[in-house]
Amino acid sequence: MKKVYLDNAATTAIRPEVIAQMAQVMQEEFGNPSSTHSFGRSAKNILELSRKTIAKQIGAQASEVIFTSCGTESNNWILRSAIVDLKVERIISSKIEHHAVLHTLEVLRDEFSIAVDYVDLTEGGLVDLNHLSELLAENVPTLVSLMHVNNEIGTVLDLAETARLCKQYGAHFHTDAVQSVGKVAIDLQQIPVDFLSASAHKFHGPKGIGFAFVRKGLVVHPMIWGGEQEKGLRAGTEGVHNVAGMAKALEISYTELGSEQAKIAQLRDHLLAQLQIHFRGFKVNGASPLYNIANILLPLPEEKTAMILFHLDMKGIAVSRGSACQSGSLRPSHVLAEILSEEDLCKPSLRISLSHYNTKDDIDYLISVLQSV
């Protein structure tokens, strides 16, 4: 059966160069990086070179990059540290963050009795920076935690302006950049973000590895205790092959960013043009989404909502659920619930997320299968 993968915001295919790099490390570098003999030193060397490579891509210093197991772990660690180590009494976030932030905030609020405020969003799901200013003006020791790119609708935070506001009011700033690292140029030398979370499997790297950027000078303590790995900040023997794969994936993503972005943007234009022809009246959910994500509301009857993903799956097409009433899920999309009317929420919405591996044929196949729904 023909298979078409259009769910790249969920995860991405690993680049062949990354697999080759990881295989080489697994075959030749099995030493424990904490061992002092030559096998260990060689593995440690790979870790540190990878750290440098990653830091260079985002304008960070190598010492500011801490390896973790994933984006979720980075988010958990940073949010907890802000309370325990930086003594913030309030976290400002938004209702459309990933659950790795939202659910963590609920737990932390109960555990530490901190305040959690949610910034207003515009109709299209953008953060209302005027409201953020008003909240910040209240002058409580605060961490702002706002995602750079939304994983469901692709909306983009003005990172520079948000960081500037946080600085102006003396608040710390964390950004969940899991959907933007490797897809958008980020220069942390220019933008005064304090903390950032990233995950390799979103930029054509392996799963089970991510990193946290922690700005130099911020004193944080570990969430996982044990050995002295990662300067004692994240104990546990490092997955050297995963780290090497992540560094390779990020380096290639940024080397190829211009051409891959252009290709993906063209594919999305083609998708939207085809939708315009065959599904007149369709809408894009979310204001000015990033070039790789199209969350679309289809002008189809409500009763088609439940079977549409199933139908696409039967035809070998992978996309993600967009709408709240869809796919028999008891959990609605908390993101669309914030930005759509009750009526639109029950209509079929799909998240189509692209990578440079997609082709015009993939889009045409999707359109033809959608027409047969």
Of 146 and 363, CB closest to ligand PLP: 146
**CB of 147 vs ligand PLP, minimal distance in Å:** 5
Q: How far apart are CA 4 and CA 164, in angstroms?
A: 41
Beta bridge partners of 205: none
The minimum distance between CB 209 and ligand PLP, in angstroms, equals 8
Cβ nearer to ligand PLP, comparing 125 with 210: 210
Using CB under 6 A, list all residues that contact ligand PLP.
Answer: 70-72, 98, 100, 147, 151, 176, 178-179, 199, 210
Q: Is 309 exposed, middle or buried (0-12, 13-18, 19+ CB in 10 A)?
A: buried
Q: What's the min distance (Å) between Cβ of 181 and ligand PLP?
A: 10
Query: 234 or 347, CB closer to ligand PLP?
Result: 234
Catalytic residue flag (residue 325): yes
- Say if residue 273 is exposed, middle or buried (CB neighbours under 10 Å; 0-12, 13-18, 19+): exposed
Burial (CB count <10 Å: 0-12, 13-18, 19+), residue 95:
middle
List the 172-176 sheet strands across, edge first.
65-68, 210-214, 195-199, 172-176, 142-145, 90-93, 115-118
Q: Which residue is nearest to ligand PLP (CB)?
A: 71
Please give the sequence-ordered ranges of beta strands (E in DSSP) within 146-219, or none if there are none. 172-176, 195-199, 210-214
Taken in order 35, 54, 13, 20, the sign of the CA dihedral is negative
- Nearest to 364, CA basis, from 4, 109, 104: 4
Least distance from ligand PLP to the Cβ atom of residue 82, Å: 17
**Closest approach of ligand PLP to the CB of residue 200, in Å:** 8
Would you name the residues annotated as active-site residues? Answer: 325
